[in-house]
């Protein structure tokens, strides 16, 4: 984590549906480049932090300047690393950063989405690291999470992430900075997606909208590409919209003739520019340059065409002082329909609350053994949920029903249902066995704020937390005191295990749907 001795650069602010420099009246248009080498998305846990290697930044920033770049988009950074050198070099070059908050190993999974404590921590850690630099323009809470009708329920969890990261920024007293979302261009969901993330209240709606669009291929046109229709769809949108990725490569080399349209009179009153995909050449063949070694690159044919086109992108824009937004109304939320949209707009998933999860975990008398592999959790969830109600950990973005502990880690959730079943059986030793996977441990009593939280959610875990939490309480400060022991003690169990939370949802739902009754222990 860096300590910013920040280069003086004017922060970018949002007014209405446009970006502006904060200290003058000039509208800011994004002339951006996606900048992340060897990023594998959801297929791998590995990634290279593009802002933590000063040598590479010194190599690439002059090249980005040649491309008239004023924004780079990075898809994953490591918040524990020092980014001060790269961020200050970028600031000195007049380049801002939009960063995704997730990484390949920690993101909202469209196939079984959840918004939970460890991911919340990841998001807030990235914010804490990058907010110290004035050339951080904003954050993406998700990228193409919902990509067809069947996965639109995942948008409820992304919108909860937008709500909670915005609230976190405000609670920390940070400067005003936007949190947005980058969507794909799917004809079946694109209108509903844009409406959903811009409906309800401003506290839970996006601050800007990114559009990943690859419809202008080769010598296309404003109408043939559909740019005309997309522009009309967003003409009355209340927040800035821009291309968060663009640059179709079905025709090579790419000549980027869409740049003239994007920054021209037909589009520049609606769109705030765009981010071309991408700087580095990889197997997907979208690169502007090819890295030779740590100090040199080779410019590819796309580089020359892009450079020529972006150099002519000089829209005048709107004067901030004389600009009074008229498109201030939020959109109407799309209705849930099996044929078109699966995410309810209210309620959204609960805010991750590590204090509640820790309180619950430390008051549980029957818990999963530390020796049990997280890969075995799924079977254990399925078994226990055949014996007791698991409503306290279930979550459903379509119905809007969320257990209070649905935002806890998988081990914490397992402890909750194991302990719940054990207590329902009168704390019999045989009710905390499960083939040697569970064990009794020291019993504790919740007091103070911990007691308040536990009472609010109830023994079934289906209540709603109304008390405010700092999100950093541990057992002692939350009011947990030991009152005795049963069986072998195992204190200090406040560990969030990084297993895919999808196991909880998928296997619990399977058990419920199958109508499991008694399952032999």
The torsion of the CA quartet 368, 373, 378, 382, rounded to 10 degrees, works out to -40
Cβ contacts of residue 324 below 8 Å, gap of 6+? 16
φ, ψ dihedrals at 430, nearest 5°: -70, -15
pTM: 0.90
- The kind and range of the H/E element at 505 are helix 502-513
Note whether 432 and 422 are within 8 A (CB): yes
Residues 84 and 102: their CA atoms lie apart, in Å, by 20
Q: What pLDDT does residue 492 have?
A: 30
Query: How many alpha carbons lie under 13 Å from residue 109 in its C-beta half-sphere?
Result: 17
Distance, CA of 445 to CA of 364 (rounded, Å)? 9
Identify the sign of the CA torsion 178, 183, 187, 188: negative
The number of angstroms, rounded, from the C-alpha of 151 to the middle of its chain's C-alpha atoms is: 16
Tens of pLDDT, residues 148-174: 999 999 999 999 999 999 999 999 999
* Structure confidence at residue 500 (pLDDT): 33
Pinpoint the alpha helices (H) of 131-185. 155-171
Closest CA to 209 of 155, 286, 284, 130: 155
Residues facing residue 337 across a β-bridge: 341
User: Within the chain, how many helices (H) and strands (E) appear?
Assistant: 14, 18
Length of the chain: 521
Task: Using alpha carbons, select from 109, 320, 115, 325 the residue that is nearest to residue 237.
Answer: 325
Question: For residue 261, what are the CA distances in angstroms to 65, 182, 219, 221, 230?
Answer: 22, 21, 12, 8, 13
Q: How far apart are CA 235 and CA 267, in angstroms?
A: 9
Q: What is the CA radius of gyration of the chain?
A: 25
Spans of all domains in the chain: 12-311, 354-457
| Residues annotated as part of the active site | 144, 245
**pLDDT at residue 443, as a whole number:** 72
Find residue 289's DSSP bridge partners.
280, 299
What's the pLDDT tens digit per position in 426-484?
Answer: 999 999 999 999 999 987 788 999 999 999 999 999 999 998 754 443 333 445 443 33
Q: How far apart are CA 184 and CA 205, in angstroms?
A: 18
Best CA proximity match to 17, nearest among 227, 275, 208, 162: 208
Biggest CA–CA distance in the chain, Å, is: 76
273 conformational bin, left if phi > 0, alpha if psi -120 to 50, beta if neither: left
Residue 517 CA to residue 521 CA, distance in Å, equals 12
Provide the pLDDT for residue 44.
53
Tokens 């920024």 sit at which residue? 169
Q: Please provide residue 476's backbone torsions phi and psi, each rounded to the nearest 5 degrees.
A: -60, -50
Residue for token digits 């040649």? 66
Say whether 250 sits in a helix, a strand or coil.
coil
Q: Among candidates 41, 32, 107, 110, which has minimal Cα distance to 343?
A: 110
Q: CB neighbours of 214 closer than 8 A, spacing ≥ 6?
A: 185, 245, 246, 247, 248
DSSP of 181-212: EEEE--TTTHHHHHHHTTBS-GGGS-SEEEEE
Q: Which residues contact 216 (CB under 8 A, 6 or more apart)?
A: 225, 227, 246, 248, 257, 258, 261
Fold exhibited by the domain 12-311: TIM Barrel (3.20.20)
C-alpha span between 11 and 177 (Å, rounded):
9
pLDDT of amino acid 503: 33
pLDDT value, residue 96: 98
How far apart, in whole angstroms, are the C-alpha atoms of residue 319 and residue 338? Answer: 45
pLDDT per residue, tens digit, the chain (521 aa), is 655 566 889 999 999 999 999 999 999 999 999 999 975 554 456 799 999 999 999 999 999 999 999 999 999 999 999 999 999 999 999 999 999 999 999 999 999 999 999 999 999 999 999 999 999 999 999 999 999 999 999 999 999 999 999 999 999 999 999 999 999 999 999 999 999 999 999 999 999 999 999 999 999 999 999 999 999 999 999 999 999 999 999 999 999 999 999 999 999 999 999 999 999 999 999 999 999 999 999 999 999 999 999 999 999 999 999 999 999 999 999 999 999 999 999 999 999 999 999 999 999 999 999 999 999 999 999 999 999 999 999 999 999 999 999 999 999 999 999 999 999 999 999 999 999 999 999 877 889 999 999 999 999 999 999 987 544 433 334 454 433 333 332 223 233 333 333 334 444 433 333 333 323 33
CA dihedral (207, 208, 210, 211) positive or negative = positive
Whether residue 310 contacts residue 303, with contact meaning beta carbons closer than 8 Å, is answered with no
- Residue 445: what pLDDT? 87
| CB contact burial 94-127 (16+ within 10 A = b; e otherwise) | ebbbbbbbbbbebbbbbebbbbbbbbbbbbbbbb
Given a contact cutoff of 8 angstroms between Cβ atoms, the answer to whether 97 and 139 are in contact is: no
Place of tokens 């069986």: 487
Please, are residues 278 and 36 in contact by the beta-carbon 8 Å criterion?
yes
CATH number at 354-457: 1.20.58.1040
Please give the Cα distance from 246 to 211 (Å, whole number). Answer: 8
């Amino acid at each position: 984590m860096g300590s910013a001795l920040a280069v003086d650069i004017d922060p970018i602010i949002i007014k209405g549906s446009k970006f502006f420099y904060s200290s003058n009246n000039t509208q800011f248009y994004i002339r951006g480049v996606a900048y992340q080498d060897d990023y594998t998305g959801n297929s791998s846990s590995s990634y290279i932090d593009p802002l933590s290697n000063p040598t590479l930044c010194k190599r690439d920033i002059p090249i980005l300047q040649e491309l008239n770049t004023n924004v780079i988009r990075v898809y994953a950074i490591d918040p524990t690393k020092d980014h001060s050198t790269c961020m200050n070099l970028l600031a000195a070059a007049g380049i801002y950063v939009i960063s995704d908050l997730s990484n390949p190993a920690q993101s909202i999974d469209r196939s079984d989405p959840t918004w939970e404590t460890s991911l919340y921590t990841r998001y807030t850690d990235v914010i804490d690291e990058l907010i110290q630099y004035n050339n951080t323009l904003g954050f993406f809470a998700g990228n193409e999470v919902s990509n067809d009708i069947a996965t639109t329920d995942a948008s409820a969890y992304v919108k909860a992430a937008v709500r909670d990261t915005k609230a976190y920024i405000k609670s920390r007293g940070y400067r005003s900075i936007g949190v947005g979302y980058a969507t794909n261009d799917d004809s079946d969901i694109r209108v509903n997606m844009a409406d959903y993330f811009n409906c309800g209240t401003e506290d839970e709606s996006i601050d800007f909208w990114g559009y990943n669009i690859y419809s202008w291929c080769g010598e296309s046109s404003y109408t043939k590409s559909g740019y005309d229709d997309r522009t009309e769809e967003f003409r009355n949108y209340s927040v800035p919209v821009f291309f968060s990725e663009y640059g179709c490569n079905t025709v090579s080399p790419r000549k980027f003739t869409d740049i003239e349209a994007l920054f021209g009179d037909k589009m520049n009153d609606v769109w705030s520019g765009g981010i071309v995909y991408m700087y580095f050449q990889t197997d997907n063949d979208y690169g502007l340059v090819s890295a030779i070694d740590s100090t040199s690159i080779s410019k590819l044919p796309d580089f020359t065409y892009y450079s020529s086109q972006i150099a002519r992108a000089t829209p005048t824009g709107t004067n901030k002082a004389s600009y009074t937004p008229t498109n201030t109304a939020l959109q109407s939320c799309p209705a849930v329909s099996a044929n078109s949209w699966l995410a309810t707009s209210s309620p959204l998933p609960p805010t991750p609350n590590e204090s509640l999860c820790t309180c619950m975990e430390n008051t549980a008398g029957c818990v999963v053994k530390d020796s049990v592999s997280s890969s075995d959790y799924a079977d254990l969830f399925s078994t226990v949920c055949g014996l007791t109600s698991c409503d306290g950990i279930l979550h459903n973005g379509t119905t809007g029903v969320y257990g209070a502990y649905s935002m806890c880690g998988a081990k914490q959730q397992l402890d909750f249902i194991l302990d719940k079943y054990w207590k329902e059986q009168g704390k019999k030793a045989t009710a905390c066995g499960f083939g040697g996977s569970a064990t009794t441990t020291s019993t504790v009593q919740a007091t103070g704020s911990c007691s308040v939280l536990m009472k609010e959610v109830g023994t079934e875990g289906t209540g709603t937390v109304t008390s405010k939490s700092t999100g950093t309480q541990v057992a002692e400060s939350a009011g947990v005191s030991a009152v005795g022991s049963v069986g072998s003690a195992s204190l200090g169990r406040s560990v969030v295990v990084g297993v895919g939370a999808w196991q909880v949802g998928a296997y619990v739902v399977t058990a419920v749907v199958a109508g499991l009754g008694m399952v032999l222990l």
